[in-house]
Homo-oligomer: A and B are copies of this chain.
């Protein structure tokens, strides 16, 4: 059975180029590629080139040629094997995020996020609908990168069954290459039709306008080299010139519909208006509850460590809303080894050279650890939106990006909780003035706090949209009335303890 997406390539019956013809074209192409790479170094987007396809189809050779022609100091090649210990403790895409090239650089992926789905499907370890779920995840990942400007090119090196057999046999006979062929290659070959069917489905489903597949006839080394490197060069040149991408040779299906954009209708929802600020906790009740909750938390966190669960806690809220105090009360009940507090302010220059979510991906906690974010990726929907650090298109698509990011965290089994510490405008003024008076706290108050306060309504709109747009069943926002600090601190601890307790009970039942 021959898959439809490979028909065209198989029908074409391309011939190998003569050595002379190759040399001639290669020289011009190489000069052009080097020029493009130099221009890329100053450009503000990264390039992701991904290779997949049949074993023996020339993936490795093509990557080697590309790195030989280009400046190897500005390329990094990645390949992935089974998950390492550190990788296994994070959401599946953690290792891919970690290895994404910064702007101005090329990242080559010799095995990638497509490897496991292909193998799993070809060996029948997952069914068609599980495969589709994985492909949706991949499409969302690639869309996120492309939206941020990444140029993504995907090459599928194709061989028909007979050609693959010949190629494997030739390698096996080669005195220096025979060790490269293992029983696994032959095992895969025997399932050629299954691989082909899965591959067709994968290519069809994930060939999008922003991340198209190009299927390349892998039989002839010189032909396929020029085809792939030529396409890399054309795509790079087009992007550098600000032109639309060249036709990828394979007709992409209609792009997957983007998730609904949070728009005017959601603006009507005002979650912050529902917060009840009337609850007040007295000192004595507070001390008693606090002592009990801290003891509970200490015990629960220790159990958590034993069970290898990881926890991500997000704190957002108004300036002087009590984030710092709540975090401090919480972590002081924890074993210092078991948590990290990440204070999120301006990104470092390495972080700035990547997608805005990259710096949060790299901070995902290992098994048993608690990562506390004092401000977070929600900055995209708050300060970056209000202060116009992000364009409207950027923050509008961030709702879906963040939901997707959090879905992956949760999907890994991590407990994710999000707290909004809320105070009203009058209470903020009281606290600002109190800080100003207090010699011990006055450093906490800056000009910027007053400037932000002047934009209260804009921040309020942003926060309402954010909460409405990113409260999901698995990761709802906990809105914490914060006018009374004691109440707020207890509320945070209580919610956290309840969630940990329920998660541990669930885990014990599994």
Q: Which positions in A face B, CB cutoff 8 Å? A: 31, 38, 60, 63-64, 66-68, 71-79, 84-86, 108, 110, 176, 179-180, 295, 298-299, 302, 306, 324, 327-328, 331-332, 334-337, 340-343, 348-350, 372, 374, 440, 443
Contact = CB atoms under 8 A, between A and B. Distances in A.
Contacts of A77: 336-337
A73 B348 contact: no
A328 B63 CA distance: 14
A185 to B, nearest CB: 16
A76 to B, nearest CB: 6
A79 B341 CA distance: 16
A327 B374 contact: no
B73 A110 contact: no
Contact of A336 (B31, B60, B324, B341): B60
Given A302-B179, A348-B349, A349-B348, A67 B337 contact: no
A260 B31 CA distance: 51
A108 to B, nearest CB: 7
Contacts of A84: 85-86
Contact of A67 (B66, B75, B331): B331
| Closest 7 pairs between A and B when the two form their complex, measured CB to CB | A68-B332, A73-B343, A77-B336, A79-B337, A63-B336, A85-B85, A72-B341
B64 A335 contact: yes
Given A63-B336, A85-B85, A86-B86, A176 B295 contact: yes
A112 to B, nearest CB: 12
Contacts of A85: 84-86
Nearest to A51: B336
Contacts of A179: 302, 306
Contacts of A31: 440
Contacts of A335: 60, 64
A348 B110 CA distance: 28
A366 B343 CA distance: 30
Contacts of A66: 336
Contact of A327 (B72, B74, B306, B350): B72
A75 B332 CA distance: 12
A86 B366 CA distance: 13
A336 B38 contact: no
Contact of A68 (B328, B337, B349): B328
Given A66-B336, A176-B299, A348-B350, 7 more contacts: A60-B335, A63-B336, A64-B336, A72-B372, A77-B336, A78-B337, A349-B350
